[in-house]
Copies of this chain bind each other. A is one copy, B any other.
Amino acid sequence: MTEIKSAISIGIQLGRDVEPSLLGCHRLGAKGKSNDEIWNGPYSNDSFPEYAEDIEAGGDAAPSFSMMSEVARSLQITLVGGSISERSGNKLYNTCCVFGSDGKLKGKHRKIHLFDIDIPGKITFKESKTLTAGLDLTVVDTDVGRIGIGICYDIRFQELAMLYAARGAHLLCYPGAFNMTTGPLHWELLQRARAADNQVFGTLLCWILLFYRSSLFMLPI
């Protein structure tokens, strides 16, 4: 529980009569929470297989998944569970689970756009070395509204946000782990653009250690 609670870094209150600001959410007691990308282990191709969980099996085969379910149930909150590495058959995915306030899994998003980058002298990382890309859009109806889910680099593609907005999403949630090369260029820009362009609320959660800033909550203005 402690691990999960420490990973939960933002609260979201979508009640129409409440100022939907980050501080306001914490003060008023948020009904929905989220955490960040691959929070259950180191962010490396070596570690993805080691920490991968079998979400479909659940229980001891998916300890982080099970803990999130328990957190959502015991706190009676909607929980956008950041992302963890998932093993399904012989494939690995970067996967975000969304839990209802009863602790049940309401939706699961596998990162569609894997982050392969090679900027000499800056950053080289290829998620596609170990991970498989998801194929499906993920819209989840929750107690705090209809949420469209993306993971980190998914935010780079405006079409995904447009499709979510067209499907009636109130909130777009992109758990992320940006780096210091593309982070300063894109992290705030893309989240603000997605919220303003599609007139939805937006939130993007990031790792802090070695990565860029922490969290952001966007109003659709």
Contacts and interface: CB of A to CB of B under 8 A. Distances in A.
A111 interface: no
A196 B190 contact: yes
Contacts of A162: 158
Interface residues of A, number: 11
A193 interface: yes
Given A158-B158, A158-B162, A193 B189 contact: yes
B185 A193 contact: no
Interface string A184-200: 01100110110011000
A191 B197 CA distance: 12
A221 interface: yes
A142 to B, nearest CB: 26
**Protomer copies:** 2
Nearest to A159: B162
Among A162, A186, A193, residue most surrounded by chain B Cβ atoms (within 10 Å): A193
Contact of A189 (B158, B186, B196): B196
A168 B131 CA distance: 33
Interface in A163-204: 185-186, 189-190, 192-193, 196-197
A189 B192 contact: yes
Among A185, A186, A189, A197, residue most surrounded by chain B Cβ atoms (within 10 Å): A197
Given A189-B192, A192-B189, A158 B197 contact: yes
A221 B158 contact: no
Contacts of A186: 196
A187 B221 CA distance: 12
A106 to B, nearest CB: 29
Interface string A38-62: 0000000000000000000000000
Interface of A: 158, 162, 185-186, 189-190, 192-193, 196-197, 221
